[in-house]
A and B are shown apart, each in its own frame.
Chain A
């Protein structure tokens, strides 16, 4: 089952969902909006180059893969998560999280974003980037080690399970 906006607000208030910084106005009928952080990576000459997004933004080259991150630390000990790009971005041909949309229960960090633009597109820091939805589990929870959280510079310390 997918949590309604009301259930998301209650779960943030009770600590079952971490979403920081949190603004109740970002909650939708069945998801919550996250925003784009300042760090961007582009793969050049065999390695990743860091780009700090300026206030007036950065234009993406079409069909080139970039990595970004969420402004918010997002996680839950109670619920599994799905993170997607918002439709306002998808409608511009700006694709986020093309492939790896699943957030495991107990993970808690700034998400690394997969970003690909079909058209020349300006990214702006702090823009609404997409939505996270939260899903109830069925079955016993046995957390597995969270490999990538250890290497994600943007991430916060794990909340709960250590790899």
Chain B
């Protein structure tokens, strides 16, 4: 079952959901609106990204005039908010106003583990020219009830995310073993 916006506000008050900063006015009917933080990251051109190896990344801030994305461009962003829950499973979605511009807030990984808390990294992909502005509401998070005992909480390589976090799959045991 999916939580209503009113229930999200109640669960934040009860500390079952953490959203920082929290503004009750951003609760929608079934979600909470998320805004874009100021920091972006991109992979240096000329490299082949490989799950076994740490990628080369450059970080920069969105200028006050905005950051224009070209069609086909991919950058990492972050939600201005920190969020997470030990009780309800969060799912990240684009806001439809952003997606209708041909821009995607993420394409493949919307599911957040119970126990994660931090700025959520956004996988920003443009199919049309679009300008990113800090503070723009571009994503939303929904919360879902669980079935079964909550025996494990996330404590992985993206925990406490602060700023856009590039891929860290090279830290996985599989990658470490394969590198030898």
Asked if B23 CB lies within 8 Å of chain A CBs, one says no
Closest 9 interchain pairs by CB? A7-B148, A85-B108, A90-B109, A118-B74, A88-B169, A87-B109, A4-B148, A6-B151, A1-B147
Asked if A150 CB lies within 8 Å of chain B CBs, one says no
**Residues on B close to A: CB < 8 A?**
1, 43, 47-52, 55, 72-74, 76, 89, 106-111, 113-115, 121, 123, 125, 144-154, 158, 165-169, 172, 174, 178
- Residues A10 and B174 in contact, CB atoms below 8 Å apart: no
| Interface set, chain A 21-77, CB cutoff 8 A to B | 27-31, 57, 59, 62-63
- Residues A93 and B146 in contact, CB atoms below 8 Å apart: no
Contacts A4-B148, A119-B49 known; 4 new A-B pairs at CB < 8 A:
A5-B152, A87-B158, A93-B123, A95-B108
- In the complex, how many angstroms separate the beta carbon of B11 from the nearest chain A beta carbon? 16
Across-interface contacts of A133 in B (CB, < 8 A): 111
Residue among A6, A28, A94 making CB contact with B148, cutoff 8 Å: A6
Residue among B72, B153, B165 making CB contact with A91, cutoff 8 Å: B165
Measured CB to CB, the nearest residue on chain A to B47 is A120
Asked if A98 CB lies within 8 Å of chain B CBs, one says yes
Across-interface contacts of A10 in B (CB, < 8 A): 148
- Residues A3 and B146 in contact, CB atoms below 8 Å apart: yes
- Residues B50 and A122 in contact, CB atoms below 8 Å apart: yes
> Known contacts being A4-B114, A4-B151, A59-B48, is A30 close to B146, with CB within 8 Å?
yes
- Residues B167 and A91 in contact, CB atoms below 8 Å apart: yes
- In the complex, how many angstroms separate the beta carbon of B128 from the nearest chain A beta carbon? 14
Residue count of chain A within 8 Å CB distance of chain B: 48
Asked if A124 CB lies within 8 Å of chain B CBs, one says yes
Across-interface contacts of A120 in B (CB, < 8 A): 47-49
Residue among A7, A97, A121 making CB contact with B49, cutoff 8 Å: A121
- Residues B108 and A136 in contact, CB atoms below 8 Å apart: no
- Residues B50 and A57 in contact, CB atoms below 8 Å apart: yes
Asked if A2 CB lies within 8 Å of chain B CBs, one says yes
